[in-house]
């Protein structure tokens, strides 16, 4: 897709890798946005690039907490970025941080909202039937508020934004309380 054909294997040169990441990320996000519009679909994309420099990360962190750890945009078709890093903690010796980028693209319709609600109920049932026992450590969150309909009657075709972030813990699927074993010792 360019002047030359490239083999799909890790780009060893860090600069080139970052450039390619940036370009291709843009491309994927564009396509995802198109898909949401064309097919009335919901697409959520989370990308974690393994590159990124500490200065840039720290700058973005400061900017982020300037408002909130959540950086939300309610306009449809916009991207959403949330960043967090380990520099902040300083509890380990690792020097270069993970730059995490969260992107969510979504189209929200009343019809969809209903469907999600139904699936949610169905899923709860399935969990019981299957007796799942995993204790997940991360959480995909719906930040639209307490309920599925957020406010008043809500006009058809209203746009909402779903977002993702890392959360500290979750109960297991049988109602266990928060506070399990999360001693994340390395090696």
Partner DNA sequence: AATCCTATATATAATTT
Partner DNA sequence: TAAATTATATATAGGAT
Give contact residues for DNA (rule: CB under 7 A): 1-6, 15-16, 18-20, 22-24, 26-28, 30-31, 53, 56
Q: Which is nearest to 84 in space by CA: 8, 30, 17, 165?
A: 165
Look at the chain and count its residues. 187
Tell me how far, at minimum, the Cβ of 180 lies from DNA, in Å. 40
Q: For residues 104 and 29, is the Cβ–Cβ distance under 8 A?
A: no
- Picked from its own copies, DNA, none, the partner binding residue 3 (CB below 5 to 8 A depending on kind) is DNA
Among 4, 13, 38, 62, binds its own copies (CB under 8 A): 38
Local structure of 135: helix, strand or coil: coil
Among 71, 98, 158, 161, binds its own copies (CB under 8 A): 98
| Contact status: 95 vs its own copies (CB under 8 A) | no
Query: Which two structure tokens, joined as six digits, stand for 6?
Result: 């490239």
Distance CA 95, CA 87 (A): 8
- Picked from its own copies, DNA, none, the partner binding residue 2 (CB below 5 to 8 A depending on kind) is DNA
| Contact status: 71 vs its own copies (CB under 8 A) | no
* φ, ψ dihedrals at 64, nearest 5°: -65, -50
| Contact status: 178 vs its own copies (CB under 8 A) | yes
Q: Which is nearer to DNA, 7 or 134 (CB)?
A: 7
| Contact status: 54 vs its own copies (CB under 8 A) | no
Among 59, 73, 117, 133, binds its own copies (CB under 8 A): 117
Q: Specify the long-range contacts of residues 25-29, CB closer than 8 Å, at least 24 apart.
A: 25/49, 25/101, 29/79, 29/103, 29/105
């Amino acid at each position: 897709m360019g002047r030359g054909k490239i083999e799909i294997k890790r780009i060893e040169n860090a600069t080139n890798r970052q450039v390619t990441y940036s370009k291709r990320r843009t491309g994927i996000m564009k396509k995802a946005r198109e898909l949401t519009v064309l097919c009335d679909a919901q697409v959520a994309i989370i990308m974690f690039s393994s590159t990124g420099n500490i200065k840039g990360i720290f700058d973005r962190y400061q900017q982020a907490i300037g408002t909130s750890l959540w950086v939300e945009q309610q306009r449809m078709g916009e991207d959403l970025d949330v960043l967090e890093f380990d520099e902040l903690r300083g509890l380990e010796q690792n020097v270069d941080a993970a730059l995490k980028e969260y992107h969510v693209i979504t189209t929200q319709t009343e019809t969809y909202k209903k469907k999600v609600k139904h699936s949610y109920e169905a899923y709860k049932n399935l969990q019981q039937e299957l007796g799942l026992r995993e204790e997940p450590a991360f959480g995909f969150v719906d930040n639209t508020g307490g309920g599925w309909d957020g406010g008043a009657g809500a006009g058809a075709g209203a746009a909402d934004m779903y977002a993702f972030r890392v959360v500290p813990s979750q109960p297991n699927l049988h109602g266990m309380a928060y506070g399990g074993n999360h001693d994340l010792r390395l090696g």
